[in-house]
Amino acid sequence: MKSASLALAAVLTLAAVPAAAQAPAAVTTTAADWRTPDPENVLVFDTNKGRIIVELEPKIAPAHAERYRTLARRGFYDGLEFFRVIEGFMDQTGDPKNDGTGGSDLPDLRIEVPFRRGADVRFTSAGKLPADNASPSATEVGFVGVMPVRGAPSMQMMVAVDGKAPGWGLFCPGVLGAARSGDPHSANSQFFFMRDAYPSLDGSYTAFGRVIAGQDVVRAIKTGEPVAPPRDKMTKVRVLADIPAGERPKVQVLDTAGPAFRAMVEKARGAATVVDPCSIEIPARIG
């Protein structure tokens, strides 16, 4: 397998534009504003630095969500190291060789960019962006579940043959991305946690989930390119649904399609046309 670090290394020559998450704007919430994620779509990463809880988003990247869930259930990730960690960028792991050249025995995945968003996908807009070099037409940013996304305005669904609009995940803090080589269809088992925002990856890599608890752990992982021993590692990775009831964490996330979160977005936007989704922290409750 080609090194899954090559393409990421090339990106580092581009300008990084980090966006620090801000404290949620004060809004009143009710029990109805909180949702309990599907335990089949939550991965619990126990590391030597602490616990990271991630929600997968199959509406954006169904094949990737299924792949990383499958490998977690195999115990594939247990004991694997964070072998390439760059401050202000990402933590890379998921390689049985712990050097960026390995993968699983499963076939490589095709990139899931762009995804197609239909009217059935709940979406909260954070505003519209004008055309630029990356997107020759105006686009809209917002949230699908916990995932920050950018894509064609929702009204484009009305003229599309399939009734859907294209979009892609944004590489904000906490987002999980599929590591690959220069071939866009070479993702396999490796992945990375975003330490900070890195928009140069937007639209070029598959984003398939986001940290809902433990971003402090993500940023505490030992850095290095490659990381010098001793390295931090994932001690155990499990699907939430598989954890025995007595030790299973209780997870709730503020519903990004609900009125309380929409009010948060509006407060953060103020009089501006758009607010950067990477600047908005999605509240979660872990019990």
**What would the pLDDT profile of 243-269 be if each residue is shown by its tens digit?**
999 999 999 999 999 999 999 999 999
CB contact at 8 A, 201 and 57: no
DSSP state of 125: E
Per the domain annotation, does 223 fall within a domain?
yes
Which pLDDT belongs to residue 3?
A: 67
Per the domain annotation, does 26 fall within a domain?
no
Q: For residue 230, give both structure tokens.
A: 């001793």
Find residue 46's DSSP bridge partners.
51, 236
Per the domain annotation, does 272 fall within a domain?
yes
- Owning domain of residue 94: 6-19+33-241+249-286
DSSP for 31-91, please give it.
GGGEE---GGGEEEEEETTEEEEEEE-TTT-HHHHHHHHHHHHHTTTTT-B--EEETTTEE
Average model confidence (pLDDT) across the chain? 91
Per the domain annotation, does 37 fall within a domain?
yes
Per the domain annotation, does 28 fall within a domain?
no
Which pLDDT belongs to residue 19?
A: 42
Q: What pLDDT digit, counting tens, does each position of 159-172 carry? A: 999 999 999 999 99
Per the domain annotation, does 24 fall within a domain?
no
Q: What pLDDT digit, counting tens, does each position of 26-56 carry? A: 678 999 999 999 999 999 999 999 999 999 9
Closest CA to 82 of 218, 195, 232: 232
Per the domain annotation, does 27 fall within a domain?
no
Q: What pLDDT digit, counting tens, does each position of 172-217 carry? A: 999 999 999 999 999 999 999 999 999 999 999 999 999 999 999 9
Please compute the mean of the pLDDT values over residues 116-123 and round it to a whole number.
94
If one counts the domains in the chain, the total is 1
Closest CA to 18 of 281, 276, 284: 276
CB contact at 8 A, 63 and 109: yes
Q: How far is CA 265 from CA 17, 22, 243, 282, in A?
A: 21, 12, 34, 10
Q: For residue 20, give both structure tokens.
A: 């620090």
CATH code of residue 200: 2.40.100.10
Phi, psi of 92 (to 5 degrees): -105, 140
CB contact at 8 A, 208 and 177: yes
Name the residue with tokens 């010098």. 228
Which pLDDT belongs to residue 280?
A: 95
Q: What pLDDT digit, counting tens, does each position of 72-92 carry? A: 999 999 999 999 999 999 999
User: β-strand 115-118 against 164-169: which pairing, if any?
Assistant: antiparallel
For the entire predicted model, the pTM comes to 0.91
Per the domain annotation, does 137 fall within a domain?
yes
